[in-house]
């Protein structure tokens, strides 16, 4: 009996040692992941070239190709609607029209647009129709604006996007010079409140690393990206894929449109242009939550497996190191004599240091104070919660909300299944 107890005791000790050793090894692996991620981040920052305004006097004249700017607007009265519309109308491009759709707003959006239209004849305001079955609100608003326009080029934009006076001229100059069919600008994302500065850098970092323009712009690459705030498309290319009806049920209509255009043979290009366009996507936590839950699950193509993998990755790489470092430091401060806590502290505090340093660099690039790098774990925890809520709303049929509309709910329109690339060609 004593021998059996001895064997059991030694087995428990061995399991304890293996368990603790595995955690230490895992922590060092995470540290190495952060070193690799740091190298990739520095590489991405070095190659993240900013597009500057281009002077082309030929595009300042009425002979320039007509560009139809399409702007859906729903319940924007409390935000920056008037300044944004005025920035569009202030373009130094010589030949454009602005078609704004009051998308069934229940506030003063329509009145603001009509007042601005009375000041400038280039702005035409359309009262949006009720969204028909099979469509989401924004794609249908864009389709209505497209029907009412006649430009050789179309520029889809948002009602919260601020343009530099040379933004449109620069975009058309780049597209014409290089023979592009579609050109999207990545804007400057303004973050002014606490929660914006905590959350915006998390997905800005992801975009910096995983959506590099040089990779997106390769004709043979399957990757494509459209930014709805500034998406210039040659009208012929847009009509060949069926206009915005091609993305009628897509909440990420801009990203999906870029994919469809590229697979149809259109030359699509992304440029980083914070000097030319900017936006503040949310002004409070409620707007941040609603906008992010709307997009997160769709960004992962409504894949449960990909969602679970992403949640695990975010937790173990971005959340676990500071938690384990804090726990180890606490146990050491409380007088724990076990060397395990000191051995666990080293890799996690090192990973945390790299984590904060890289976040500070990314924050600086995107206009967020560097000190907010210390809040990065909170941003990643919030990202996990948002992703869970986004997936839960779609998968359970409870749906998601955006500006007073519910979508992807049981009994209504549901996410479309992606076709294979072969079938789309």
Top mean-pLDDT range of 22-26, 81-85, 343-347: 81-85
SS (H, E, C) 110-123: HHHHHHHHHHCCCE
- Map out the domains of the chain as residue ranges: 21-46+301-407, 57-187+227-283
pLDDT over 60 at 424, yes or no: no
At residue 19, the pLDDT reads: 54
- Can you give the pLDDT at residue 219? 87
Q: How confident is the model at residue 417 (pLDDT cuts 50, 70, 90)?
A: low
Q: What is the pLDDT at residue 119?
A: 93
pLDDT on residue 10: 40
Cβ neighbours of residue 66 closer than 8 Å, sequence gap 6 or more: 95, 96, 97, 150, 151, 152, 153
**pTM, rounded to two decimals:** 0.88
pLDDT of residue 23 exceeding 90: no
Strands (E), 235-369: 268-272, 277-279
> What is the pLDDT averaged over residues 25-47?
90
Those residues with Cβ within 8 angstroms of residue 76's Cβ, 6 or more apart along the chain or in another chain = 105, 107, 109, 112, 159, 160
State the average pLDDT for the chain: 89
pLDDT for position 195: 92
**pLDDT at residue 4, rounded to an integer:** 46
CA-to-CA distance for 244 and 132, rounded, in angstroms? 14
- For 236, phi then psi, to 5°, come to -60, -45
pLDDT of 221 higher than 90: no
Average pLDDT score over residue span 387-415: 91
Q: Please name which of 256, 281, 226 lies closest in space to residue 402, comparing C-alpha atoms.
A: 281
- Alpha-carbon gap, residue 6 to 99, rounded angstroms: 82
Structure tokens at 183: 């050109």
Phi then psi for residue 406, to 5 deg, are -105, 140
The β-bridge partners of 155 are 69, 232
Is the predicted pLDDT of residue 381 greater than 50, yes or no? Answer: yes
Mean pLDDT of 164-191: 95
Of the listed ranges 58-62, 204-208, 398-402, 415-419, the least confidently predicted one is 415-419
Average pLDDT over residues 74-89: 93
| Beta bridge partners of residue 156, listed in sequence order | 70, 231
> How far apart, in whole angstroms, are the C-alpha atoms of residue 6 and residue 281?
64
150 compared with 48, residue with greater pLDDT: 150
Per-residue pLDDT tens over the stretch 255-310: 999 999 999 999 999 999 999 999 998 888 999 999 999 999 999 999 999 999 99
Rounded-to-integer distance, Cα 351 and Cα 322, Å: 8
Binned at pLDDT 50, 70 and 90, residue 422 comes out as: very low
Q: Are 215 and 190 in contact (CB under 8 A)?
A: no
Q: Which helix (H) or strand (E) holds 34?
A: helix 2-46
| Mean pLDDT value across residues 63-89 | 94
Q: Locate 390 and state its tokens.
A: 């986004």
57-187+227-283 sits in which CATH class?
alpha beta
Confidence of residue 367 (pLDDT cuts 50, 70, 90): confident
């Amino acid at each position: 009996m004593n021998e059996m107890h001895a064997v059991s005791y030694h087995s428990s000790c061995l399991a304890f040692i293996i368990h603790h050793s595995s955690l230490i090894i895992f922590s060092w692996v995470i540290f190495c992941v952060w070193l690799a991620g740091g190298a990739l981040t520095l590489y991405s920052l070095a190659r993240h070239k900013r597009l500057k305004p281009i002077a082309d006097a030929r595009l300042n004249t009425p002979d320039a190709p007509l560009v139809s700017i399409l702007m859906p607007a729903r319940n924007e009265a409390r935000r920056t609607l008037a300044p944004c519309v005025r920035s569009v109308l202030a373009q130094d491009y010589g030949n454009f029209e602005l078609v704004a759709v009051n998308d069934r707003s229940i506030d003063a959006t329509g009145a603001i647009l009509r007042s601005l239209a009375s000041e400038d004849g280039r702005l035409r305001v359309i009262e949006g129709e009720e969204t028909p079955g099979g469509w989401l609100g924004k794609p249908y608003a864009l389709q209505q604006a497209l029907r009412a326009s006649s430009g050789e080029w179309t520029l889809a934009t948002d009602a919260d996007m601020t343009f530099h006076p040379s933004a449109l001229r620069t975009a058309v100059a780049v597209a014409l010079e290089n023979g592009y069919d579609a050109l999207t600008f990545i804007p400057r994302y303004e973050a002014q409140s606490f929660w914006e500065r905590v959350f915006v850098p998390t997905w800005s970092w992801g975009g910096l690393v995983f959506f590099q323009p040089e990779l997106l712009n390769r004709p043979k690459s399957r990757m494509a990206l459209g930014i709805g705030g500034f998406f210039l498309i040659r009208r012929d290319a847009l009509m060949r894929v069926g206009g915005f009806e091609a993305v009628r049920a897509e909440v990420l209509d801009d990203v999906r449109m870029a994919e469809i255009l590229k697979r149809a043979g259109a030359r699509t290009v992304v440029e980083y242009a914070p000097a030319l366009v900017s936006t503040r996507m949310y002004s409070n936590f409620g707007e941040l939550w609603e906008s992010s839950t709307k997009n997160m699950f769709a960004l992962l193509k409504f894949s449960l497996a990909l969602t679970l993998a992403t949640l695990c990755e975010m937790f173990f790489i971005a959340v676990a190191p500071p938690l384990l470092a804090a726990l180890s430091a606490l146990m050491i401060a409380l007088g724990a004599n076990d060397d395990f806590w000191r051995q666990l502290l080293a890799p996690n505090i090192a990973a945390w240091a790299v984590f904060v340093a890289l976040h500070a660099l990314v924050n600086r690039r995107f206009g967020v104070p560097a000190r907010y790098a210390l809040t990065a774990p909170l941003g990643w925890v919030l990202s996990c919660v948002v992703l869970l809520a986004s997936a839960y709303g779609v998968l359970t049929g409870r749906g998601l909300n955006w500006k007073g509309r519910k979508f992807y709910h049981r009994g209504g329109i549901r996410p479309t299944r992606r076709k294979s690339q072969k079938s789309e060609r």
